[in-house]
């Protein structure tokens, strides 16, 4: 495939995948928030974040290195060898981590304020998730996006179905929901499994050299992700953790388009890292459409923060509404920082990635300080204060080191700002109007249509891009889905 066609192919299936995942998370959080108390939701959120963190540690950064090297590789025998090395190593380390977790279940239960049964479930979750991530990275590196989509549909649909069934037949508890996660993450391996080839020892050095950098980088990201779910229960309560978790889940919705764009372009950055012209085109495409899709969502979340919280939960969680604005803006900067770092990693800028990640660790002392003095609002504010700085600095490093020019057309920038202001004005009017929820939702949809239409008319969004992606999506709906 040509660069543009490969990008469109990736966008198509990863859009389906990401929309499905975000839809799953929202529906699951709505069900849990409706049927669980904030304290129970706090226990489940803490357990899930700890489980993912321990699973990540057992991977030692290998999946990130695997998908980068596979995306660059043309020899399928070497590709299978990379998979073989990674699979054998992760199988041993993940089982070791599971054993240690089970052995320390008493201590973890006491300090994290979790039932001991859940700690044992975390131990089972570690190898299931780790092995799945190896094969997921393998297929991602080969750009088999359709296979990734179908595996996610399987596991998350069954998790959601089991939770819905329990909601009507039995009281939902954190333990029961976690059982569903362990079971279906284990079975989902069948959809991405590929028999490893023979191991080629000389490839180990290259694989582990990239995995070390990726491990350090991802370790910082995971520490930052799991930190609130350790610090808030320690300094406040699990009920406060539940409030924070709901606000965080709502705010993460702004990630959706940015994630689709990065996942679609990452293999292409790796494959074209020697071609500066293509790298510049890809980066400008990513940055432009990230801003176009993310900024109106941020404005909507700030204007309708109370309604969003109530839509996702109940009045028990209304305190979460004050956290939505700082978390939404903070998460936007955080995802921009992480994606800029991922692009640098795909281009082989190892030292820059490590330095940037280490700088971002200032988040931890800021989080502890603000949480201690200002509670969960302080925890939310720490994202905004820290990542607004490190994201801008990471963009500066990328542009300076790679000499990538960020193209700003004055007329298009002005038209974009005007479109955003019109959109914000419409949102404020809709919020002021006293009307039924259904009517307001129709008006919000109308404001988004006005916004995107104005961008097309002012040529901020290229008509060629719209026509190309529309035709490609229609063609894929007819042909590609038949091969899922």
pLDDT > 70? residue 402: no
* Structural domain includes residue 280: no
CA 60 to chain centre: 19
* Structural domain includes residue 184: yes
Q: Which residue do the tokens 């009507």 mark?
A: 168
More confident call, 382 vs 280: 382
Is residue 368 helix, strand or coil?
helix
Look at residue 263 in the predicted model and tell me its pLDDT. Answer: 61
* Structural domain includes residue 119: yes
Give per-residue pLDDT as tens, 296-317. 988 988 888 888 888 777 778 8
* Structural domain includes residue 67: yes
* Structural domain includes residue 429: no
Q: Are 408 and 291 in contact (CB under 8 A)?
A: no
Number of domains in the chain: 1
Q: Are 14 and 264 in contact (CB under 8 A)?
A: yes
CA dist 338 and 341 (Å) reads 5
Is residue 484 helix, strand or coil?
coil
CA dist 26 and 20 (Å) reads 10
pLDDT > 50? residue 473: no
In 62-202, which ranges are continuous DSSP H helix? 62-72, 76-103, 105-112, 116-141, 145-169, 174-187, 189-192
* 388, burial (CB in 10 Å: exposed 0-12, middle 13-18, buried 19+): middle
CA dist 457 and 422 (Å) reads 14
Reported as a pLDDT band with limits 50, 70 and 90, residue 370 is very high
* Structural domain includes residue 154: yes
* Residue 329 in tokens: 């803006």
| Angle 314-315-320 from CA coordinates, rounded to 5° | 90
pLDDT > 50? residue 15: yes
Q: Are 34 and 314 in contact (CB under 8 A)?
A: yes
CA dist 462 and 459 (Å) reads 6
Look at residue 2 in the predicted model and tell me its pLDDT. Answer: 54
Calculate mean pLDDT across residues 427-436. 84
CA dist 323 and 308 (Å) reads 12
* Residue 40 in tokens: 């129970």
* Structural domain includes residue 81: yes
Look at residue 212 in the predicted model and tell me its pLDDT. Answer: 72
To the question of pTM greater than 0.75 for the whole model, the response is no
* Structural domain includes residue 265: no
pLDDT > 70? residue 188: no
Residues of the domain holding 146: 36-226
Q: Count Cβ neighbours within 10 Å for each residue of 196-235 and write b for 16 or more, e otherwise.
A: beeeeeebbeebbebbbbbbebbbbbbbbebbbbbbbbeb
Reported as a pLDDT band with limits 50, 70 and 90, residue 345 is confident
The answer for residues whose C-beta is within 8 angstroms of residue 194's C-beta and 6 or more apart is 80, 83, 135, 138, 139
pLDDT > 90? residue 378: yes
Calculate mean pLDDT across residues 63-86. 75
| H helix and E strand count, the chain | 21, 0
């Amino acid at each position: 495939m040509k660069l543009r066609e490969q990008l469109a192919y990736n966008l198509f299936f990863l859009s389906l995948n990401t929309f499905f995942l975000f839809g799953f998370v929202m529906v699951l959080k709505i069900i849990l928030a409706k049927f669980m108390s904030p304290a129970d939701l706090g226990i489940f959120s803490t357990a899930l974040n700890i489980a993912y963190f321990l699973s990540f540690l057992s991977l030692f950064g290998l999946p990130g290195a695997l998908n980068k090297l596979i995306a660059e590789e043309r020899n399928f025998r070497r590709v299978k060898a990379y998979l073989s090395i990674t699979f054998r190593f992760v199988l041993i380390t993940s089982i070791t981590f599971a054993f240690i977790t089970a052995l320390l279940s008493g201590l973890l239960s006491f300090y994290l304020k979790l039932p001991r049964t859940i700690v044992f479930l975390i131990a089972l979750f570690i190898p299931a998730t780790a092995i799945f991530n190896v094969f997921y990275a393998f297929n991602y590196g080969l750009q088999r996006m359709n296979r990734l989509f179908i595996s996610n549909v399987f596991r998350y649909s069954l998790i959601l179905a089991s939770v819905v069934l329990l909601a009507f037949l039995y009281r939902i508890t954190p333990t029961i929901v976690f059982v569903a996660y362990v079971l279906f993450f284990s079975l989902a391996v069948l959809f991405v499994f590929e028999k490893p080839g023979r191991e080629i020892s000389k490839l180990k050095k290259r694989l582990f050299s990239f995995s070390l950098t990726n491990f350090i980088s991802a370790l910082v990201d995971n520490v930052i992700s799991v930190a609130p779910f350790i610090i808030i229960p320690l300094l406040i309560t699990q009920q406060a953790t539940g409030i924070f978790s709901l606000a965080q889940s709502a705010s993460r919705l702004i990630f959706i388009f940015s994630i689709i764009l990065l996942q679609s372009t990452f293999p292409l950055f790796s494959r074209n890292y020697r071609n500066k012209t293509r790298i510049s085109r890809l980066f400008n495409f990513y940055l432009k459409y990230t801003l176009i899709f993310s900024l109106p969502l941020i404005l909507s979340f700030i204007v309708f923060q109370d309604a969003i919280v109530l839509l996702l939960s109940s009045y028990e969680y209304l305190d979460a509404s004050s956290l939505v604005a700082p978390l939404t803006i903070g998460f936007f900067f955080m995802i921009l920082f992480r994606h800029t770092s991922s692009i640098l990693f795909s281009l082989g800028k190892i030292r820059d990635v490590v330095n940037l990640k280490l700088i971002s660790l200032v988040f931890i002392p800021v989080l502890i300080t603000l949480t201690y003095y200002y509670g969960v609002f302080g925890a939310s504010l720490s994202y905004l204060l820290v990542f607004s700085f490190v994201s801008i600095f990471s963009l500066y490093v990328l542009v300076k080191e790679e000499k990538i020019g960020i193209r700003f057309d004055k007329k298009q920038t002005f038209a974009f700002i005007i479109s955003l202001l019109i959109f914000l004005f419409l949102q404020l009017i809709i919020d002021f109007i006293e009307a039924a929820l259904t009517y307001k939702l129709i008006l919000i949809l109308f404001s988004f249509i006005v916004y995107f239409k104005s961008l097309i008319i002012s040529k901020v969004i290229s008509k060629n891009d719209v026509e190309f992606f529309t035709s490609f999506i229609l063609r894929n709906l007819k042909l590609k889905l038949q091969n899922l």
